Amino acid sequence: MQELLKTLAQGLVNQPDAVEVTVDDPNEDGVIVYHLHVAEDDMGRVIGKQGRIAKAIRVVMRAVASRNDEKIMVEID
């Protein structure tokens, strides 16, 4: 999951080496939080107009997680 998120983000940004993904332990509800860190200049590329790209990234990640019976959340930092 972590590699998928990193690969998706690296395809969108100008500085793919600056992409980092950190993962929190599952909380009391069993939700795993993935934190996506990108370069400051690439933040707009990852979020997109009106958050459309960020929303699409979250949809893809949730779809993969549901196949693995996991609950996840993606935070863009």
Rounded to the nearest 5 percent, the helix, strand and coil shares of the chain are 50, 20, 25
**Segments forming the whole domain that contains residue 63:** 2-76
pLDDT digits (tens), the chain, 77 positions: 999 999 999 999 999 999 999 999 999 999 999 999 999 999 999 999 999 999 999 999 999 999 999 999 999 98
Total count of domains within the chain: 1
> What residues pair up with 20 in beta bridges, in sequence order?
37
Q: Is 5 exposed, middle or buried (0-12, 13-18, 19+ CB in 10 A)?
A: buried
Q: What is the pTM of this model?
A: 0.90
The Cα–Cα gap between 44 and 41 comes to 7
The CATH number covering residue 44 comes to: 3.30.300.20
